[in-house]
Structure 1
C-alpha cells in the first residue's frame, strides 16, 4: 500500500516538471515573436526603404589640357629619282655597288659608245669643212666689195658673194648644232646619278640592251637624309580647330611633330609640320598634312608605316568626364547623371566634341563644380535622393591622367555630339 502511494507521488512530481518546462518554452516563444514583430513594424520598414543610398561622385573641375592629334602614314624620301637611259645601247659595265651611297653626277652605267663616237667624229668633220667654206666665202665677198669701189665688178656680183658668205656662216651654225647633239648623245652613253642618295638594286646587267623610251628604270636613288611623312585628316576637324583658336579657347602650339615607329618606339628627333594642303579631297573630305623629319642615321626608310603626333594647342578650362558614365541615346544624344544641390539625382544633357584619353571633353551641359555620378548608375533614376561620396584619387587614376596627357585620342576619330 505504501509502495503504491509512493509511485503515485513520483508520477505527480514528473507531471509538474513537464508542465513547468512547457510554460517556460511558451514564454520564450512569445518573447521571440514579440521581438520579431517589433523589428518588422511598419515604421522600421518604411525607414529602411527610404534610406538614401551612397553614390560615388566626381566634382567637375576646369583644367588646361594639351590637345594632340595622332595620325598614321608612310614615310617617303625627300628626293626620289629613277635612273633611266636617254640613248639606246648595250650596257658594257655597271659602275656602282647596289645599296651604296652615290653622289650626283657619279657614273653608274657605261653603254657601248662606238656608234655615237662615229657620229660625233662625222659631225665634227662636217663643221670644220663648213668653217673653211665660210672663211673662203667671206674673203671673196670682201674682195668683190673692194672692186665695187673702182667699178671693177657689178653691184649684182657683190650682192651674190655677200649672200654666199652669209649662207656659209649659217651652215657653220647648223653644223655646230649637229656636233653638239652628237656630243650630248656620246656623253649620255655614260649614265650618271641625277641626285645624291642611296641607290637600290640594278634591274639590268652587263650585255643588256636598253632604250631611251623604256618604262623600266635601271635603278632608283633616294635621298633619305630627310624624310617626308604625308598624312590626312578630316577637313571638319581642321575647321573646328581654327575656329577654336580664333575664339581664344585654344592657344596655338608649335609646329613640332613626334614620330612613333613600327615597333612602338618614339623617334628621338622631332619633325616639323611643313605645310597643310590648300585643297580638300572631294572623295574623302580630307586634307593632306606634310611633315619633314631629319634622318642623319638613316634609321627611317621610305615606305615605313609610322604614327605621328601633332601638337594642336592648349585648351584652357576644359571640363572632362569619364567616357564610361556617358549614356548614348537615340539620335546620337547623350546624358550623364549628376547630383544636384538637394542631393537628388538629375539627368543632364551634354555635348562632347572630342575624346581625351579615356575621358570626354564636355563643351556644353556641365559647369565647373557639378557632381557627376561615376558608379552604380544602373540602380539610379532621376529624382532619387542619394548620399554623394566624393571619389578619391588613386594611383590608377593618376596613371590614367598621365597617359591621357601624353597621348590623347584623335579628335577626328573620337568626336561625338552628346545629348
Structure 2
C-alpha cells in the first residue's frame, strides 16, 4: 500500500473454479393437457347429477356424471327387439318356402334348373335383409339408450357446470366444461442466448426424443408460497416471430397430489414462475453480478491497491455471472460496491479476510435478486 494514501476498506472474494449448475428462469400459464366440452348425444330431462358434477369437482374415469330420462329409449329398444323377432320368424318361414319350392319343382319332373323366382330366392334375400335391418335398428336403439348415461371419459375436474336436475336437454347440449387431471402443461419461453446452456428434448420425425426430459420447478405466490415439480417434455416447432424466443412445453404430473398439505390446489390459468434445470459447467469461474460494472469490468485487490480488469461474460442471471475471460482463479475479487474509483487506489481488506472467502454483499438497488446460491437462473424477457 502506498505510504500516506487514504485506503478504502473493501471485502474480497478469492476466485476459484468449480462446478456450476445453470438454471434458467421462465414463466407461463397453467393449461390443461386435455380439455373437453361434455355434450349430450340424446334429448330428455336430466334425472341424476353426481355430487362431483359441480364447478371444481373431481371425478374418475368411468364415473356416472349425469343421467337423462331413458323411458322413451327403453321403449325404442323393446320395439326394436320385437321387430327383430318378427324378422327372424319371417326369415325362418321364407327358408321353409324355398325348400318346399325346390321339392315341388323336382316332384313335377322338371329336369332343367329352376329359376330364382321359382325357388323364391328374391323373397329369401328380402327376408334376410329385413333381419339385418332389424338387428341394426336394435343396435341403434341400444346405443341411444346407453347415451342417456353420461360417463366420465377420463379422470378430471369440472371447470363449469351448465345443467342440473330437471334441465331438459337436446342433442349436442353442452353439459359441462371439463379437463384431465393426470398432468397439466405450461408453455415456457427460453432466450436464444440460453439455448446453449440447456439440453432440450427435441422430437424427431419418428416421434423419438433426442434427450431426456429435464426437471423444472414451478412456484406461485397466489396463496402463500407454493411449488410443484415437472419436466420439459418437448420443444415447439418454431421460433416465436414476436419475441424471437423458443418455447418449450413442460408437464406437471399428478399436480393435485402435490402440496396436499397446503390445502390449495393449482388452478387452470394460474401464472407460475419456472426454473429450468440447465447444464452443469465444470471448472466454471463465477462471480456475483454486483461486482461487475457496466457489464464489462471488475476490480480486484492486489498488493493493497485496486486493479481494474476487463471481463467477457459467457452467461449470467440476476445474481451470478460466468466469466469467459479476464479473470483467473486465485485472484481476489472486490465485492464491495464502489463509487467513482480508479485503478491503483489504495485499499485495505476488511477484517483481513484475504485468506478465506468473504460473504457476498447485498445487491445494489438496481440489481434484481430472486434467490440464493450459485445454481440460479436467467430471467426471460416479458
CA distance in 1, matches of 2:171, 2:328: 71
Gaps of 5+ in 2: 201-210, 364-368
Farther-moved stretch of structure 1 (190-199 vs 390-399): 390-399
The structure 2 residue matched to 1:288, chosen from 248, 252, 267, is 248
CA distance in 2, matches of 1:158, 1:201: 63
Deviations 1:145-165 (A, max 9, x none): 344455656611566512321
Instruction: Note if contact 2:80-2:138 (Cα within 8 Å) is conserved in structure 1.
Output: yes
Aligned residue for 1:4?
none
Tell which structure's C-alpha radius of gyration is larger: 1
TM-score, with structure 1 as normaliser: 0.68
CA drift of 1:125 comes to 2.9
Report the structure, 1 or 2, having the larger helix content: 1
1:91-130 correspondence to structure 2 within 5 Å:
91-97=46-52, 98=54, 101-130=58-87
1:73 aligns with 2:28: yes
CA drift of 1:228 comes to 1.9
CA distance in 2, matches of 1:277, 1:366: 36
Deviations 1:138-183 (A, max 9, x none): 2222223344455656611566512321232122112211221122
CA distance in 2, matches of 1:325, 1:274: 33
Aligned residue for 2:378?
410
Give the secondary-structure state (helix, strand or coil) at the position aligned to 2:161: coil
CA drift of 1:129 comes to 2.3
Gaps of 5+ in 1: 1-46, 245-251, 415-419
1:370-409 correspondence to structure 2 within 5 Å:
370-375=331-336, 377-381=338-342, 384-387=343-346, 389-390=348-349, 392=353, 396-397=359-360, 403-405=371-373, 408-409=376-377
TM-score, with structure 2 as normaliser: 0.73
Over the residues paired in the alignment, what is the CA RMSD in angstroms? 4.0
Give the secondary-structure state (helix, strand or coil) at the position aligned to 2:96: helix
Aligned residue for 2:168?
209
Deviations 1:269-309 (A, max 9, x none): x6341512241353343222212233334853332433333
Instruction: Note if contact 2:215-2:232 (Cα within 8 Å) is conserved in structure 1.
Output: no
Shift in CA distance, 71/234, structure 1 to aligned 2, threshold 3 Å: closer
The count of corresponding residues between Structure 1 and Structure 2 is: 347
Give the secondary-structure state (helix, strand or coil) at the position aligned to 1:405: coil
Shift in CA distance, 278/148, structure 1 to aligned 2, threshold 3 Å: farther
Aligned residue for 2:315?
353
